Amino acid sequence: MWEDPIVKETRAAREELLERFNYDLDALCDYLNEIGHQSGKKAVTLEPRRPAEASRKVS
């Protein structure tokens, strides 16, 4: 079966991070948030898009 090398690399990186934090997702999230704050880059949060109202003709 064919394996996508990008998917394989991503899964390996995920496993490495999880092992590093003993599979504690709270600790991993804290670490990732800290990295985000240290980067100095601002996260962009957009307003959710509202679905366009469907125009229905009533006969």
pLDDT of residue 43: 82
Residues 40 and 50: beta-carbon distance below 8 Å: no
Instruction: Look up the domain containing 21 and give its range.
Output: 5-39
Supply the DSSP string of the chain, one letter for each residue: ----HHHHHHHHHHHHHHHHTTT-HHHHHHHHHHHHHHH-PPPP-PPPPPPPPPP----
Measured CA to CA, the distance from residue 36 to residue 39 in angstroms comes to 5
Identify whether 31 is part of a domain: yes
Q: Tens of pLDDT along 3-51?
A: 999 999 999 999 999 999 999 999 999 999 999 999 998 888 899 988 8
Identify whether 56 is part of a domain: no
Identify whether 59 is part of a domain: no
Q: What is the band of 57 on the pLDDT scale with cuts at 50, 70, 90? A: low
Domain count, the chain: 1
pLDDT of residue 39: 92
Identify whether 25 is part of a domain: yes
Identify whether 51 is part of a domain: no
